């Protein structure tokens, strides 16, 4: 039976921030914000067509399916309610920072610029030069990654698995973006369908691709790593698409 709030309850809730919890281990695995019956949309299969497309392979929906297969129900916690939309965005962003293991594909509102950072990261973030990709010598494919990593970890987080077409093959370089900063530069030698056969150790993801490649030459890395993107370079705040082309 689908869960719903009554109209009377919806009026009291206004905007709210919620957590989805796995009852098998008590782990919070997703954080969101909304109003009305948004909190139940994930289990009631009421996501919009765009959300279903973005969430089709997400860890969130995979976790929900596994919970149901084990005979349990997702626990829904309203973390804070009675909010206006702006405040809800801020509370959501703060909670996403507080639960680093959650399955959210994108960070919360303001997390790119104002999320959790070490004091040295704050200094680096605000003193970094902006990169001018419009006049850069390379065609760049930008990919937002959820967390920073070093070496092969960052490469692995950047290369798999994305909804891209033949246009991706035109890119000279691939930039890993974290908190609006360029943290890695790679060169793709081949784009392949995102299958377990092409990428051993990965799960097959229909309709997506990944790349085989390497770190860019050190001189190219120096041109980009540590520089920040212009504010709102990705467009509308909270935009779900992690992919952007510079050309």
- CATH 3.40.1440.10 domain range(s) in the chain: 7-106
DSSP symbols for 101-151: T---SSPPTTHHHHSS--HHHHHHHHHPPBP-GGG-SS-EEEEE-SS---T
For the segment 129-139, what is each residue's pLDDT rounded down to a tens digit? 899 999 999 99
Residue 119 has pLDDT above 70, yes or no: no
For the segment 7-19, what is each residue's pLDDT rounded down to a tens digit? 999 999 999 999 9
Q: How confident is the model at residue 57 (pLDDT cuts 50, 70, 90)?
A: very low
Position 64 scores a pLDDT of 87
Neighbours of 197 (CB within 10 A): 9
Phi, psi of 65, rounded to the nearest 5 degrees? -60, -45
| C-alpha 11: how far from chain center | 30
Lowest mean pLDDT among 32-46, 110-124, 225-239: 110-124
For the segment 210-235, what is each residue's pLDDT rounded down to a tens digit? 999 999 999 999 999 989 898 778 76
Position 148 scores a pLDDT of 45
pTM: 0.57
DSSP label at residue 35: S
User: Who's near 232: CB < 8 A, 6+ residues apart?
Assistant: none
Neighbours of 178 (CB within 10 A): 18
For the segment 142-185, what is each residue's pLDDT rounded down to a tens digit? 999 865 444 458 898 899 999 999 999 999 999 999 878 898 99
Please state, in angstroms and rounded to a whole number, the distance separating the CA atoms of residues 112 and 238.
10
Note whether 182 and 131 are within 8 A (CB).
yes
Q: How confident is the model at residue 124 (pLDDT cuts 50, 70, 90)?
A: low
**% the chain with pLDDT above 70:** 77
Could you please state the CATH topology (level 3) that the domain comprising 7-106 is classified under: GIY-YIG endonuclease (3.40.1440)
Mean of all residue pLDDT scores within the chain: 82
DSSP label at residue 172: S
Position 55 scores a pLDDT of 47
């Amino acid at each position: 039976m689908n869960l719903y709030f009554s109209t009377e309850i919806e009026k009291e809730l206004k905007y709210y921030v919620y957590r989805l919890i796995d009852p098998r281990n008590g782990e919070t695995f997703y954080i969101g914000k909304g109003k009305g019956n948004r909190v139940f949309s994930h289990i009631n299969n009421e996501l919009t067509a765009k959300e279903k497309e973005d969430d089709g392979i997400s860890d969130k929906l995979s976790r929900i399916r596994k919970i149901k297969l084990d005979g349990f129900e997702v626990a829904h916690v309203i973390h804070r309610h009675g909010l206006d939309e702006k405040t809800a965005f801020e509370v959501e962003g703060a909670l996403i920072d507080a639960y680093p293991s959650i399955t959210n594909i994108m960070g919360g509102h303001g997390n790119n610029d104002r999320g959790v950072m070490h004091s040295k990261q704050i200094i680096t973030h605000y003193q970094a030069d902006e990169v001018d990709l419009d006049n850069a010598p390379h065609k760049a494919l930008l990919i937002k990654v959820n967390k920073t990593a070093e070496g092969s970890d960052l490469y692995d987080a950047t290369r798999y698995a994305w909804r891209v077409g033949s246009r991706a093959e035109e890119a000279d370089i691939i930039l890993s973006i974290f908190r609006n900063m360029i943290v890695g530069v790679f060169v793709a030698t081949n784009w392949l369908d995102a299958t377990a056969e092409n990428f051993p150790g990965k799960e097959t993801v229909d309709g997506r691709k990944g790349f085989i490649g390497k770190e860019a030459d050190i001189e190219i890395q120096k041109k980009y790593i540590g520089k920040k993107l212009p504010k709102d370079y990705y467009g509308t705040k909270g935009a779900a698409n992690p992919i952007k082309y510079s050309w």
